[in-house]
Structure 1
Amino acid sequence: MTGYAVVARELPQGSLNLELRSVNNRYLDIQFRLPDELRLLEVTMREFLTARLSRGKIECRVSFSGITSTEDLQHINADLLQKLLELNRTVRAALPDAHGLEVADILRWPGMLRANSMPAESLREPCLELLGAALHELAAARAREGEKLKVILLERLSRMRSLAAEVAPRIPALLVAFQEKVKARLRDAMINCDDERIRQELTLFASKIDVDEELSRLQAHFEEVERVLRKGGAIGKRLDFLMQELNREANTVGSKSVDAEVSKIAIELKVLIEQMREQVQNIE
């Protein structure tokens, strides 16, 4: 969800510049940096972005440089001038030798010269058009990043499929080994190796280590992740949910494991899921 776009437009009233930055964030967080004359447009611009974005920390920075004529500079802030002169007299009364204010000092004083203000309403349409153009560039940058993330996630998914496929063939061998272990235990205890007793032990053991249901659900989730990735669009939250489901099944496979190799596979699955989950946070 990272991206950057900057656009500018020359208007009869002056130069309008707009910059959009996007970084990864689980939710949508929009911050504005607007000049005072455009502050009234923040609500409209926020609604514009909210309707088109669903995730990411977005910073929208707008600057406007108005064309200033000599006539615009003839309006002096009379209230500020009066306060400044009063303060000047107070200081000179306390410090007669102090250097007084000069005309140049007064004219350079912040807020002293007032240019004719530009109504925010007259800049609404140009500003929204510029925001739309910047958003188009930002979306293109995010789409390029999304394609790279898609390749990474599909590679992780392929590896997870291979790991899950290694679990099921190990179960029959584990059952055979357990059957031999039960027989040996019964013989050592000088108990008759009754087939029914062995069958009961084997059935109980098989139910404890049976992960067929978990593997089936993992496979279903793999297919859904791949379908969502290939479909595209605003899929981040859907993938986030699927990562939780994958992690739940991998945890169950690990908890049922009585085999070191299956435990190792479960751990590797969880590592891959966590890597995918971190990447999914970057997808809108």
Structure 2
Amino acid sequence: MILSMTGFGKATAAIPNKKITVEIKSLNSKQLDMSARVPASFREKELELRNILAERIVRGKVELLIYTESVGIETTVSLNIPLMAAYKEQVEEMARQLGIAWPDDWYSVLLRFPETVKSDVPATMSDEEWQTLRQVTEQAIDQLMQFRQKEGQKLEAFFTERVNRISDLLGQVAPFEKERVAKIRARLEENLAKIDTVSFDKNRLEQELIFYIEKLDINEEKQRLSQHLSYFKETMANGFGQGKKLGFIAQEMGREINTLGSKSNNADMQRLVVRMKDELEQIKEQVLNVM
């Protein structure tokens, strides 16, 4: 079964005096693109957390959000006003030297600088906090992977329906294929008959007609497209990590459908080809979400 790259997972755990919550979101991406928002006290473990996510999530645009909440204790937060005054003085001097305006909102500017807010919350994490954080992160990943699996089931049903439709449309080509050859031959002979001043060898004309009609033959394209449709289904059945391969197969399907259209020489066949292209475009759009 294929997996989607879209997913969401959330888990929470409580330890004495603190509640830890981990949220993980993922969207489609060609590779692993990860961003993280981690409390300062957990920053030392951020690289290890990223490695845990990378090993299990593999691909996607991933956002990791960790936040904590103090439980049952009072914390003291204070502003480092002397440091903020020093920052403000330097910003004003920078503005004068560069000839630019002072900030409109000094509060938001100064609060972004490091160490302007002081707290009595420990700046480092304990072993108990790390073990809990790791466990909660794994639980959030489990939820995200379950979400991806459910979305993958929907994608597989979607792809199967579209592939079957293309296969049905391909089967409808045959009657028009025979009809168009007779029409092309009749049209060429009719046009030649209108030219009274030109004589031609009928045997040579027959040979040229056969050569021309052979160039419009679509049996190979039909066979290759049918094979690609079967291969697409087989690849889906292989499960995890087939997204890029499914994308390549969809491209090959597109080549064969385009060739069918260029060789059609028949309005009814062309309409079938347009419908095939519509189904294929929907496949190409959604295949970007497959792991």
- 1:262 is aligned to 269
Q: State whether residues 17 and 62 of structure 1, in contact with CA within 8 Å, keep that contact through their aligned partners in structure 2.
A: yes
- 1:10 is aligned to 14
- Answer 1 or 2: higher relative contact order, Cα 8 Å, separation at least 6: 2
Alpha-carbon offset, residue 66 of structure 1: 4.7
Distance 2:262 2:276 in 1: 13
- 2:141 is aligned to 135
Q: State whether residues 40 and 123 of structure 2, in contact with CA within 8 Å, keep that contact through their aligned partners in structure 1.
A: no
Structure 2 gap segments, 5+ residues each:
87-114
Instruction: Give the letter for the 1:51 counterpart.
Output: E
Equivalent residue runs for 1:211-230 within 5 Å: 211-230=218-237
Runs of 4+ in 1 over 6 A off after TM superposition: none
Matched residue of 2:56: which SS?
coil
Distance 2:165 2:139 in 1: 40
Mark the CA change 1:173 to 1:85 in structure 2 (over 3 Å): closer, same or farther.
Answer: closer
Mark the CA change 1:265 to 1:120 in structure 2 (over 3 Å): closer, same or farther.
Answer: farther
Equivalent residue runs for 1:153-232 within 5 Å: 153-190=159-196, 194-232=201-239
Distance 1:76 1:188 in 2: 99
Alpha-carbon offset, residue 193 of structure 1: 7.3
Instruction: Give the letter for the 1:5 counterpart.
Output: G
Q: State whether residues 17 and 73 of structure 2, in contact with CA within 8 Å, keep that contact through their aligned partners in structure 1.
A: no
Mark the CA change 1:233 to 1:83 in structure 2 (over 3 Å): closer, same or farther.
Answer: closer
Mark the CA change 1:84 to 1:57 in structure 2 (over 3 Å): closer, same or farther.
Answer: closer
Aligned-pair identity (%): 27
TM-score by length of structure 1 reads 0.79
Mark the CA change 1:249 to 1:37 in structure 2 (over 3 Å): closer, same or farther.
Answer: same
- 2:248 is aligned to 241
- 1:90 is aligned to none
Mark the CA change 1:82 to 1:192 in structure 2 (over 3 Å): closer, same or farther.
Answer: closer
User: Which of the residues 278, 282, 288 maps onto 1:281?
Assistant: 288
Count of matched residue positions in the alignment of Structure 1 and Structure 2: 259
Distance 1:120 1:253 in 2: 66
Mark the CA change 1:177 to 1:116 in structure 2 (over 3 Å): closer, same or farther.
Answer: closer
Instruction: Give the letter for the 2:234 counterpart.
Output: R
Distance 2:184 2:118 in 1: 91
Query: How well do the aligned residues superpose, as a CA RMSD in angstroms?
Result: 3.1
- 2:45 is aligned to 41
Distance 2:44 2:182 in 1: 76
